[in-house]
Homo-oligomer: A and B are copies of this chain.
Amino acid sequence: MAKFYKEYDKHLVALDCIIFGFDEGELKLLLLKRKFEPAKGEWSLMGGFLKSDESLDEGARRVLHQLTGLSDIYMEQLHVFGELNRDPGERTISIAFYALIKVDENDRKLAETHGAHWVSVNQIPQLIFDHNQMVDKALRTLRSRTERKPIGFELLPEKFTLPQLQSLYEAINQEQLDKRNFRKRILETGLLEKLDEKEKGASKKGAYYYMFNKEKYLMYAEMGFHFQMKVKKSPLIKITT
């Protein structure tokens, strides 16, 4: 290929992945102890450097696969971070991606063998560089996503119950929702298909399993959507002195 741009600076381009998973009723993040200098041993996002022969998406997927063994997951570009000294090692531009995955037993093992850990988003430790800022931005993006796109397909197993779906929404948005309103709203979208089978782990009565209607899900994911639920107002508690 002819080189037209010889005279311009070239840069290291990092790809950092913010991986969300939903497990045990909590929204979690996949973190890693960094294995190389600088900042070796500190908590970090999954990251790697872009290669010349791969597109951004390909690169992000490769990085994720190398570090966790995971593949075929939903990822989206979040933001580019490019402050001059964000990485003390060398001037590096980082393209942050966020990903949503269903955490199953298999993934849990895979992640562990790679030295990765699932951490609740309520207990994020200090991360290297500007990674905390990235996580913060990803969380806010994920939240505003719930209002415009259906969510869950990427974070829940194929079959799930309405209480599980509700608790996913609650975990993402850090708020309590009214059961009746939630069920009514989510059902009338037509996104869900009720199965004839109950989940019996969480209660004696058992909750019906549902699945997403894949076509509708994809349609809404493309066209957008409107799902807004306000906080369930908790009764005011007066603190008596």
Give the B-binding residues of A (Cβ under 8 A).
1-5, 8-13, 36-38, 49-56, 77, 79-80, 82-84, 88-93, 95
Contact = CB atoms under 8 A, between A and B. Distances in A.
A95 B83 contact: no
B95 A80 contact: yes
Interface majority SS on A: helix, strand, loop or mixed?
loop
Contact of A82 (B53, B55, B79): B55
Contact of A5 (B3, B9, B55, B92): B92
Contacts of A12: 5, 8-11
Contacts of A5: 12, 49, 89-90, 92
Nearest to A48: B8
A3 B49 contact: no
Contact of A90 (B3, B88, B91): B3
A8 B36 CA distance: 14
18 contacts: A1-B88, A1-B90, A4-B36, A4-B38, A4-B89, A5-B49, A5-B90, A5-B92, A8-B49, A9-B49, A9-B52, A10-B11, A11-B50, A13-B13, A13-B93, A50-B93, A53-B84, A54-B84
A51 B11 CA distance: 9
Given A4-B90, A56-B93, A80 B80 contact: yes
Contacts of A3: 89-90
A48 to B, nearest CB: 9
Contacts of A56: 80, 82-83, 93
A112 to B, nearest CB: 27
